Chain A
Amino acid sequence: MALGTDRRSFLKTSAAAASGLVIAFYVPRAGAQTPKPPALPDPNAFLRIGTDETVTILLAHSEMGQGIWTTLPMLVGEELSLDWTRVRVEHAPAAPAYAHVAFGMQATGGSTTTWSEFDRYRQVGALARELLVQVAAQRWGIPPAECRLDAGHVTDGSRRLSFGALAHDASQRPAPTAVTLKPAAEWTVIGKDRKRLDSPEKVTGKAQFGLDVRFPGLMVALVARAPVFGGTVRRFDDGPARAVPGVKAVVQVPSGVAVVAEHFWAARKGRDALKIEWDEGPGGTLDSTRLLQQFREMAKTDGVRAHAAGDAPAALKAAAKVLDLEYSGPYLSHSPMEPLNCTVRLSPGKCEVWTGTQFQTVDQAAAAEAAGLKPDQVEVHTPFLGGGFGRRANPAADFVREAVHVAKASGMPVKVVWTREDDTHGGYYRPQFLHRARIALGGDGLPAAWRHTIVCQSIIDGTPFAPVMIKDGVDDTSVEGAADSPYFRGTANHLAELHTPKLPVPVLWWRSVGHTHSAFAVESIVDELAHAAGIDPLEYRRRLLAKHPRHLGVLELAAERAGWKTAPPRGRFRGLAVHESFGSFAANVVEISVASNQIRVHRVVSAIDCGVVVNPAGVRAQMEGCAIFGITTALYSELTLRKGRVQQSNFNDYRMLRMPEAPQVEVHIVPSTERSGGVGEPGVPPIAPAIANALFRATGKRLRTLPLRLA
């Protein structure tokens, strides 16, 4: 155990074992086995107890708002009785010790942090407990069994020794080879509300985000990137840019032309003064409307089979009536409040990177490649992330790779800052999508045949994850939530097909990934089926979900708390949706009104079953956030392309929900002893369809395109 305060030696040992990228990506599902780490964790990597009584917990994952800065220490604290006023939390450096137990690389995403660390962080706490108790017992000359822990101390009932007083001796002992974790019945921390540990620094402005990194000699750089995807610099004139006071260098890098300056304002003025002639390439002809037409044509043809049972085409052919429904939606940018940025300092044999990242291992490897170094010569420092939503988990490591190139070409330490416009135009979007469903209902009003065709660019294609995550030509992230939907699989004859257009627009996972569109399509479709069958939407779902108790559990809870059986207030209309994603089950009932074609969401009643809950306060906060994020997506979010150019640029034309539009959000958690699922994303998917379903009740219009617009 690194019980001293010498961070340097700790860093040295962990960095020495650094290796390249390990790919064992894994898409979690409820009921799937949790992959176990091979052995007990090295507590040195996760915990430092100082002689000053501070207990520092190192996070293998990045805090981007989801609350793991609190949740992971709670897991340690469950086994190691902590004095919470002495707890410090830090992001870990990039090192193999922090590899995600399921992904095999250091990463934060897929709503996996809590369940994937549920054992490891408790084991770390238990290992430390064992060592501290051994030392105390030895000093007192009593059996360890007579000792217990109490808020930063070991006690035998009459005597007390603080962790700090035991730390040095404990660090000299070999770590136990086995530990016993407390049974659930004895938990005192897990399952109890705990306030966020990062609040004090975040409400005082002290919290350091990537954009806040400063050190002497650090320059600020802005990069002029191609106006269309795949464009390249043909020639440029840097004279006017160099003439701007404060500009130190203008350098060409693979992604464009960088202006390096003393501060942001000089870099920005310098970049404005650049004259660049671009070779646009094929990206210059992209047009969203035409893409939609192309997607529509593709959906008329046979796709790659993602899942099938029975004979859906034959059953549909024989059916008297077939519903033929098309759902679609646009490219979306993540738009975290902190625009992308990356700071790089190069020195002989070394590259230091500071960036808000969800993908330390990938970024480390990419920085090494760009710098011409080995991964273990790259130090990755992770400050707080001002939002991530998937954008900061890029297999291409675009913002990191580029910053290394700028530092290398300019010979200066640089912070590459993306303006909001750069961030919006920078690609790696949620893909534009189209779903086509052909469904025949049986005599009972329930679906008897369902053919579901999805057109969606692949997020995984072309990344190192492809061999694991694309199976038989199907990127699971394109069809998740549809091809495995219980409604769809419960239909006797079903066929899910996928078309994967290849386009120059880079795409990426975006908070809830494929579920962003599959839940919208499937939960809207089910409402349409209920309407066609003349059955109440809740009752209809009950019939289809009879064998899916966890879906039903959240659905019934949300419906009951929302008062589904009673009429909504005058002028308001309700809609509901339920969806499983990331190992959790979430349902929403929304209450909306419509005035002058404007849709207003007044109330969201959310229910979640995420298995064992570590911090209920954190779960509620995430569900609230998911609701607001989901409403923005449902009502406003859209990127469009004309002549290859993204037409939106900033919050004036890529709108976010604002305070006056924010609804009341109520969150209800289903008590559960099931394995934990995720909570950062599962609340998002069932928002858009719940609004669309409410809108149908309000107006009789079925909107099948996101964002939902009445005029």
Chain B
Amino acid sequence: MQLKVNGVVHDVQVPDDMPVLWVLRDVLGLTGAKYGCGIAQCGACTVHVDGQAMRSCILPAASAAGKAIVTIEGLGPGLTAVQRAWIDVDVVQCGYCQPGQIMSAAALLRERPNPSDADIDRAMSGNICRCGTYPRIREAIHRAAALMKGGS
């Protein structure tokens, strides 16, 4: 089947039910999306599929064929406002969940360029951070919104 990832079309020989996460990681070598739970509980595997944040660990490859998949590696070009905000606010600790957090945040900001705390709660509730960086993630999303508007 053909999978379009970060703008590049790949021909992959994988079972239809193989989750996109494992195609990305074990076949295409894109390891930015992480495995955390395998049951769409933690959000570490979050990627964009046709612009929507989705949990790639339960998304069968066959159902993503022909759709535009974007991973953390393809979020740019360069550092996006979300990533810059993450650096400014010193969000990361172990960092393992952060690609997923950033992909969820980026999808939220595309939909709502000026998200409220309630919007953030809703959009980010599917992403677990065991290190406990939630207060900084919230701050960084607000900061990214400001950066995207050209503020500082």
Contact = CB atoms under 8 A, between A and B. Distances in A.
A635 interface: no
A380 to B, nearest CB: 19
A431 interface: no
Contact of B92 (A199, A209, A339, A650): A199
Nearest to B87: A199
B36 A629 contact: no
Contacts of A262: 26
A636 B55 CA distance: 24
A265 B26 contact: yes
B63 to A, nearest CB: 15
A420 B38 contact: yes
B41 interface: yes
Contacts of A651: 36-37, 39, 41-42, 128
A195 B90 contact: yes
Interface string B54-90: 0000000000000000011100000100010011101
B37 A420 contact: yes
A150 interface: no
Nearest to B21: A264
A387 interface: yes
A65 B94 contact: yes
Contacts of B98: 202-203
A659 B138 contact: yes
Contacts of A605: none
Interface string B112-129: 000000001110110111
A18 interface: no
Interface stretch (A112-120, A133-141, A357-365, A617-625): A617-625
A106 interface: no
A682 interface: no
B76 to A, nearest CB: 8
Given A338-B34, A386-B34, A265 B15 contact: yes
A290 interface: no
A650 B128 CA distance: 12
Nearest to B86: A203
B130 A337 contact: yes
A625 B83 contact: no
A263 B94 contact: no
A276 interface: no
Contacts of A64: 94
A205 interface: yes
Nearest to B17: A265
B137 interface: yes
A656 interface: yes
B121 A659 contact: yes
Given A337-B129, A659-B138, A265 B73 contact: no
A664 interface: yes
Contacts, number: 186
- Which of B95, B98, B120 has the most chain A CB atoms inside 10 A of its CB? B95
Contacts of B51: none
A336 B35 CA distance: 12
B87 A626 contact: no
A245 B131 CA distance: 38
Interface string A404-424: 000000000000010110000
Interface residues of B, number: 58
B132 A627 contact: yes
A658 interface: yes
A386 B95 contact: yes
Contact of B32 (A66, A205, A385): A205
A658 B95 contact: no
Contact of A338 (B25, B94, B121): B94
B52 interface: no
Given A339-B36, A625-B133, A204 B94 contact: no
B93 A212 contact: no
Interface in A158-214: 195-196, 198-200, 202-209, 211-212, 214
A408 B96 CA distance: 29
A625 B34 contact: no
Contacts of B1: none
Interface in A34-68: 63-67
A205 B72 contact: yes
B31 A387 contact: no
Interface in B94-152: 94-99, 102, 120-122, 124-125, 127-138
A621 B132 CA distance: 9
Interface string B1-34: 0000000000000110011001001110111111
Contacts of A662: 132, 134-135, 138
A662 B91 CA distance: 15
A336 B92 contact: no
A665 B135 contact: yes
Contacts of B29: 214
A693 interface: no
B125 A205 contact: no
A327 interface: no
B53 interface: no
Contacts of A214: 29, 31
A558 B72 CA distance: 39
Contacts of A632: 132
Contacts of B34: 209, 211, 337-338, 386
A628 interface: yes
Contact of A336 (B26, B83, B94, B127): B94
Contact of B94 (A265, A337, A664): A337
B79 A65 contact: no
A621 B71 contact: no
A396 interface: no
A385 B18 CA distance: 26
Contacts of A559: none
A385 B132 CA distance: 15
A65 B37 CA distance: 19
Contact of B96 (A337, A659, A660): A337
A385 B94 contact: yes
Contacts of A65: 92-95, 131
Nearest to B93: A65
A67 B44 CA distance: 21
Given A337-B96, A659-B124, A659-B137, A196 B90 contact: yes
Contacts of A206: 32
Nearest to A195: B90
Contact of B131 (A196, A200, A387, A659): A387
B27 A263 contact: yes
Given A203-B87, A617-B90, A629-B131, A337 B97 contact: yes
B87 to A, nearest CB: 5
A79 to B, nearest CB: 24
Residue of A66, A265, A335 with highest tally of chain B CB at under 10 A: A265
A66 B132 CA distance: 12
B90 A625 contact: no
Nearest to A214: B29
11 contacts: A65-B92, A66-B93, A198-B92, A200-B79, A203-B86, A203-B91, A214-B31, A265-B18, A628-B131, A650-B38, A651-B37
Given A214-B31, A337-B129, A659-B125, 19 more contacts: A65-B95, A66-B93, A198-B92, A199-B91, A202-B92, A202-B98, A203-B86, A203-B98, A204-B72, A205-B33, A264-B35, A338-B94, A420-B39, A420-B42, A624-B136, A626-B132, A628-B134, A651-B36, A657-B134
Interface of B: 14-15, 18-19, 22, 25-27, 29-39, 41-42, 44, 71-73, 79, 83, 86-88, 90-99, 102, 120-122, 124-125, 127-138
Interface of A: 63-67, 195-196, 198-200, 202-209, 211-212, 214, 220, 245, 262-265, 335-339, 384-389, 417, 419-420, 617, 621, 624-629, 632, 650-652, 656-660, 662-665
